[in-house]
Chain A
Amino acid sequence: MSEGTRTPQSRDEQRIVWRRLKETLRPQATASQVIVGLLCLLLGVSIAAQMGRNDESLEGATQQELVRLLDESGRHSSDLEVENAELERTLETLRSGQEGDAAARDAAEQRLGDLEILAGTAPAHGRGIVVSIADPESGVRASTLLGVLQELRNAGAEVVQIGDVRVVASTSITTGPGGELLVDGTPVPAPYTLRAIGDPAVMEPALRIPGGAADSVSGDGGTLAATAEDEVRIDATVTLSRPEHSQVVK
């Protein structure tokens, strides 16, 4: 192709070339010029169409590119699946940990309730009996009242209140200087009222055992009356003092 073209040697030849260019650029309404124009129009449309089409990335991609893209997205999705599985596991672990925590907290709360009832720091209610001991002659001794209390405890009383004093492990029943009864140092006037939470069907007969609590009260000149109740409320509480010398063995 390049053999046919000579580089112009002189200024005249150069001028001829430029004139040819002008001639070429001059509009000529010949049929072949129109056809050339139409072909160029077609070319322009094609270029524009091709440029527009390249914006849609995947359509013009070759087979290899598509395969590569597919591979990449497959790898990506499997990576994501692995990550998803890990996160699921973490979530499961956290959830079961939370359940364990909740169970532990429930157990601890239940244990706290039990211990509060045992220690006497919380009010309690439940079915039980109300024992009233009438003492017109002021003859009931502290040991007799203690006997009644022991009998109730033997019969399974869980929470006991004498007068307005909650009975706990360290409760004492003594006789005051004026002959009145003291429960934990608090004077309790007659008639004495004992409220006990427990099984009434066990506690009530236990008090009436021949030679037992009721008979002892009678021997002291008092009378003992016990009534079973479905709802006995015990509102008296004690305040705990921190143990000074003892420590828990672990």
Chain B
Amino acid sequence: MIAILGLVVGIVLGVVVQPDVPAGLQPYLPIAVVAALDTLAGGLRASLDGAFDSHVFITSFLFNVLIASFLVFLGDQLGVGSQLSTAVIVVLGIRIFSNAAAIRRLLFRS
């Protein structure tokens, strides 16, 4: 509940305040957001499975964001930044879809 509340409050806050993203973080923010969304979906699914562990959630949240950002950074350094970003986005997207499918099956048995 607090998580959903935090998400809503955060979006409202962001829309109202319109924070300036530091230039150094700009390439990583979209990937980090997608990674966080993936973790969120995974967390919801785990909680429905009865296997939710907040420590696991927090560490996986931070790690996913960091690894996604690091991959983009590495891709930029190697000169394949846009391709690697696409790859990360595709993988994360697939995971989000599979998590969403699992949640749907758990809740509706179909």
Chain A residues close to B by CB (< 8 Å): 1-2, 4-5, 7-8, 14, 16-18, 20-21, 23-28, 30, 32-53, 59-60, 62-64
Contacts and interface: CB of A to CB of B under 8 A. Distances in A.
Most chain A CB within 10 A, of B2, B12, B54, is at B2
Given A47-B11, A59-B26, A39 B105 contact: no
Q: Which 5 A-B pairs have the closest CB atoms?
A: A44-B10, A48-B14, A32-B54, A37-B6, A37-B2
Most chain A CB within 10 A, of B6, B8, B26, B58, is at B6
A43 B8 contact: no
- Interface of chain B: mostly helix, strand, loop or mixed: helix
Contact of A48 (B15, B26, B102, B109): B15
Contacts of A18: 107
A43 B107 contact: no
Query: Chain B, interface size: which category?
Result: 35 or more
26 contacts: A1-B99, A4-B49, A4-B51, A7-B106, A8-B109, A16-B50, A17-B48, A18-B107, A20-B49, A23-B47, A24-B44, A27-B2, A36-B43, A36-B57, A37-B3, A37-B5, A39-B6, A39-B36, A41-B6, A41-B13, A43-B37, A48-B11, A49-B21, A50-B33, A62-B82, A63-B82
Interface of B: 1-15, 17-19, 21, 26, 29-30, 32-33, 36-37, 40, 42-45, 47-52, 54-55, 57-58, 61-62, 81-82, 95, 98-99, 102, 105-107, 109
